[in-house]
Amino acid sequence: MSLKITTNLVEESKISSFDPDNIVFGRVFTDHMFSCDFVNGEWTNFRIDPFGKIPLSPTLSALHYGQAIFEGMKAYKNEDGVITLFRPLENLKRLNRSAVRMCMPELPADIFMEGMKKLITIDKDWIPSTSGSSLYIRPFMFATDDYLGVKPSEHYSFMIYACPVNAYYSHPLKVRIEETYTRASKGGVGAAKCAGNYAASMYPTKLAQQEGYDQVLWTDGDEHQYLEETGTSNVFVICGDTIYTPELSDSLLAGITRDSIIKLLRAQGKNVIEQRISIKDLISWHESKQLTEMFVSGTAATVTNIELFGYKDKNYTVNHTDNLLSKTILEDFNNIKTLKTSDSFDWISVVNESEFITN
Ligand code: COI
């Protein structure tokens, strides 16, 4: 480890109040957090502190003009206590793509990896090892200038916190195909994992939830005719022997789980096609009974089936019980993440605790 991280540990861990058999998603946080600052054009002040509130000025530019980006990733602990991360450098690449689009500074790999691995090493007892659980890791960057004018901030903070989680969804999803509101349009920020994209999704999602759906399935901003993604995940549709997923564009988040599914299935000889998927085709595949499965993919969502989609006041049910490809994908991923099967894709980064032990 080369980064000098000042470490200030809690006097007493909160872990005795954490029940790994009753995990509520996103409500319990580990003992510590990693932080650093961007000042005078460079990243500095690397530290690990007790998890807690941070002082904010009312003028903080991220609060007003939205320069705020984040990532979602997970750490796993296998039966032998080995801690793994899944494709962490892909998260760093996406964070830096988001940073460029939002006119924020990029983060070097050593800060991202060493800050995260040290935090995980210190809080390793919080990584649950029950089936389906993991330690969710949230790296994020935000603008910290105290300035009223609209311009890119000169100061930023980058932080990482973590929380033990189970899968985000505990049941198959009911989604409503969106015809009115738009998540992202050509030339916009849809491919960036920026806070504003999630803010913009909340009102349409609330409307869909009031009608009994779990999520919105977004469509393209031009015509509302092509599937894009849900508010939390990418989407896959199986028709006959072919697995379709919307092709990437500047209005779609390039999910790392999405990419891993495509690579895994192609390596298994399956036919995966990335292309625009029209609602017209989706409904015609459903009517001809060729549509055998739909699922969403994401770090938090993992791989979760869609049991029903709604479009223009009509609901279409989808098989979510028999011969599910989603289940085998999940098992394959879990086996790779816990080193039960060999990591032939070179996706796993093992956290070598001895490198990060704090004296
Ligand atoms: C993730 O999957 O990591 C996300 O950022 C989505 C959010 C619903 C937690």
Q: Would the pLDDT of 157 be above 90?
A: yes
Q: Would the pLDDT of 56 be above 70?
A: yes
CB 103 within 8 A of CB 141: no
Mean pLDDT of the chain: 96
pLDDT the model gives residue 129: 86
pLDDT the model gives residue 8: 97
On whether both 189 and 252 belong to a single domain, the answer is: yes
On whether both 122 and 197 belong to a single domain, the answer is: no
> Could you tell me the distance, in angstroms and rounded to a whole number, from the CA of residue 203 to the centre of ligand 1?
18
Mean predicted confidence (pLDDT) in 295-299: 98
Q: Token pair of 359, please? A: 């004296």
> Could you tell me the distance, in angstroms and rounded to a whole number, from the CA of residue 81 to the centre of ligand 1?
26
Domain assignment of residue 96, yes or no: yes
Q: Would the pLDDT of 355 be above 90?
A: no
Mean predicted confidence (pLDDT) in 45-59: 97
On whether both 152 and 269 belong to a single domain, the answer is: no
Ligand 1 closest atom vs CA 193: 5
Pocket test for ligand 1, best of 299, 303, 333 (most atoms within 8 A of CB): 299
Give CA–CA dist 122/234, Å, rounded: 32
Q: Would the pLDDT of 359 be above 60?
A: no
Q: Residue 251 is part of a domain; what is its CATH number?
A: 3.20.10.10
Q: Residue 52 is part of a domain; what is its CATH number?
A: 3.30.470.10
> Could you tell me the distance, in angstroms and rounded to a whole number, from the CA of residue 198 to the centre of ligand 1?
10
Give the DSSP H/E element, type plus range, for residue 141: strand 134-143
On whether both 25 and 158 belong to a single domain, the answer is: yes
> Could you tell me the distance, in angstroms and rounded to a whole number, from the CA of residue 277 to the centre of ligand 1?
23
On whether both 184 and 312 belong to a single domain, the answer is: yes
Q: Which long-range contacts (CB under 8 A, 24 or more apart) does 203-212 make?
A: 204/178, 204/180, 205/231, 208/175, 208/176, 208/178, 211/176, 211/310, 212/174
Q: Would the pLDDT of 172 be above 90?
A: yes
Token look-up 């500047």 returns 250
Mean predicted confidence (pLDDT) in 179-206: 97
pLDDT in tens, 97-126: 999 999 999 999 999 999 999 999 999 999
On whether both 64 and 188 belong to a single domain, the answer is: no
Grade residue 231 by pLDDT with cuts at 50, 70 and 90: confident
Domain assignment of residue 301, yes or no: yes
Mean predicted confidence (pLDDT) in 328-349: 96
pLDDT the model gives residue 12: 96
On whether both 119 and 204 belong to a single domain, the answer is: no
Residue nearest ligand 1's atom 3 by CA: 72
| Distance set, CA 81 to CA 127, 140, 147 (Å) | 10, 27, 47
On whether both 91 and 21 belong to a single domain, the answer is: yes
Closest to 138 measured CA to CA, from 217, 231, 28: 28
Q: Quickly count: other Cβ atoms within 10 Å of residue 25's Cβ.
A: 15
pLDDT the model gives residue 132: 87
Give the DSSP H/E element, type plus range, for residue 152: none
> Could you tell me the distance, in angstroms and rounded to a whole number, from the CA of residue 308 to the centre of ligand 1?
21
The pTM of the whole model exceeds 0.95:
yes
Query: Which domain range does residue 291 map to?
Result: 173-321
- List, chain by chain if needed, residues with CB within 6 Å of any ligand 1 atom: 72, 168, 232, 298-301
On whether both 110 and 87 belong to a single domain, the answer is: yes
Ligand 1 closest atom vs CA 301: 2
Pocket test for ligand 1, best of 91, 136, 165, 168 (most atoms within 8 A of CB): 168
| CA-CA-CA-CA dihedral for 202, 197, 119, 93, to nearest 10 | 150
What is the count of structural domains for the chain?
A: 2
> Could you tell me the distance, in angstroms and rounded to a whole number, from the CA of residue 299 to the centre of ligand 1?
6
Domain assignment of residue 327, yes or no: no
CB 233 within 8 A of CB 198: no
Percentages of the chain per state (helix, strand, coil), in multiples of 5: 25, 30, 45
On whether both 213 and 88 belong to a single domain, the answer is: no
* Ranges assigned E (strand) in 254-353: 271-274, 291-298, 302-311, 314-317, 348-350
Domain assignment of residue 326, yes or no: no
| Distance set, CA 311 to CA 49, 276, 283 (Å) | 48, 18, 9
Domain assignment of residue 1, yes or no: no
Domain assignment of residue 331, yes or no: no
Give CA–CA dist 295/257, Å, rounded: 12
On whether both 270 and 136 belong to a single domain, the answer is: no
CB 156 within 8 A of CB 144: yes
Residue nearest ligand 1's atom 5 by CA: 72
On whether both 308 and 350 belong to a single domain, the answer is: no
